[in-house]
Amino acid sequence: MKLATSKKEQTRIKERSKKADAKQKNILEMLKSHGAKIYDDLDNGQFPKFSIPSRSVSNIVYDKKLRQYILGTNAAVRSSRNSAQLRSFTQLMWLAFFANRLTHEKKSSTLRDVYYSSQAFAIEFEDQSESDNIIVDLEAVTSKPREDFHIFPEERSSIFGDLTIEYTIPGYEGKTMNLSNHPDGYSIGPSLTTAELVDTSAEIVIAIEKGGLFTRFVEEQVDKKFKSIIINTGGQAPRSTRTLLKRLHEEMKLPVIVLTDGDVYGEHIAMVIKSGSANAAHLRELTVPDAKWVGVWATDIEKYKLPTIPMTESDIKRCYDLQKDPRYQDGIWKKELDVFLKLKRKAELEAFSKYGLTNITDKYLPQKLELAKSL
């Protein structure tokens, strides 16, 4: 960590700080304008109401151009006039107030925090799933992810590689950090997610499903040998991690490849990084449409003669479910799904250890990196 001191750096920091302030201001104004509408309704002697894009299955459609699920045009009015909606209307009002406060004070919180915080205001939520649901409502109303309101998920993912970031969170503004010095990796949380991406010598981002492989990749210096930033997604990539992947792709112009276990869940981990999940159809900021899934493919199982495990009933059911998903109708997505169903077997990333611990980084990875260029 160092403090920027030169004049040029000071100017840069000021610009960044301005940008962060502008983002915060934008969110606060958006919340304010929604609040103003409520006051207007009251001034006009009307029952105040919100218009909320419908998140029902019938209103979730796949957008081929955006390459992700989005919400259709159906919207529901939540009105304080309707006694059946009064409860959720009040909850949403309170949440907007609370989100405003979090954003204003730059305090981070979690879904769970929000649930308990409501009790201080005598706002009633049956349980956390009810408050989680209202948080998604606010996301849908504003089209902004809850992270913009300082409501963060609990992360379990980490990053390693030559990437210099500059923090924007209170107490760390203007401090920079290079993420290539702690080989166990840096946790991805609110401060990394909101940091400016300053500089990198990397030419690619490798997202990998498992911590064990992440450690192996760092140990075998995949970051240096293949000029890469390595990200451990810890299973299904959490939202902040997906946002970070998107930013690395867009702001640093880095291609993103995804390595998962060779099973239907692995394939879908890659798909969610690429095109989001249906239950975040109301957001646009969590996808990396150009991300490439490079393995472990079903066809790799035979090609590399990997040790396998039989697929479970639930694996097989999952395959059939995904076959109906519009995103799995062509290319490797369809092909590999078909082969999984034919083989009825799956293989883990660690299966390459059969050929020696470094086989995956010495042989498999270079082949897949080469192949990724043509995908």
Q: Which residues bind its own copies (CB under 8 A)?
A: 1, 107-110, 112-117, 119-120, 152, 154-156, 158, 167, 169, 171-172, 175, 177, 181-192, 210-212, 215-216, 219, 221, 234, 307, 348, 350-358
3-state helix, strand, coil in the chain (%, to 5): 50, 20, 30
- The nearest distance, CB 334 to its own copies, in angstroms, is 29
| Minimum CB distance to its own copies smaller for 21 or for 184 | 184
- SS3 of 12-76: the string is HHHHHHHHHHHHHHHHHHHHHHHHHHHHHHHHCCCCCEEEEECCCHHHEEEECCCCEEEECCCEE
Q: Is 62 an active-site residue?
A: no
- The nearest distance, CB 82 to its own copies, in angstroms, is 29
- The nearest distance, CB 179 to its own copies, in angstroms, is 8
Tell me the β-bridge partners of 258.
207, 293
Of 116, 167, 320, 328, which is the active-site residue? 116
The strand pair at 175-178 and 163-166 is best described as antiparallel
Is 40 annotated as ligand-binding? no
Q: What contacts 50, CB < 8 A, 6 or more positions away?
A: 34, 77, 78, 79, 89, 92, 141
- The nearest distance, CB 354 to its own copies, in angstroms, is 4
Q: Which of 91, 66, 94 is nearest to 289 (CA)?
A: 66
Tell me the β-bridge partners of 183.
none
Look-up of token digits 């992270």: 147
Is 317 strand, coil or helix? helix
- The nearest distance, CB 169 to its own copies, in angstroms, is 7
| Minimum CB distance to its own copies smaller for 156 or for 335 | 156
| Minimum CB distance to its own copies smaller for 81 or for 344 | 344
| Minimum CB distance to its own copies smaller for 34 or for 175 | 175
Q: Which of 254, 154, 246 is nearest to 201 (CA)?
A: 254
Distance CA 19, CA 289 (A): 25
| Minimum CB distance to its own copies smaller for 114 or for 237 | 114
Q: What contacts 323, CB < 8 A, 6 or more positions away?
A: 334, 337
Tell me the β-bridge partners of 270.
none
Alpha-helical runs (H) found in 108-230: 111-117, 128-142, 190-193, 211-219, 222-225
Residues at the binding site are 209, 261
> Which sequence positions are flagged as catalytic?
116
Residues at the binding site for Mg(2+) are 209, 261
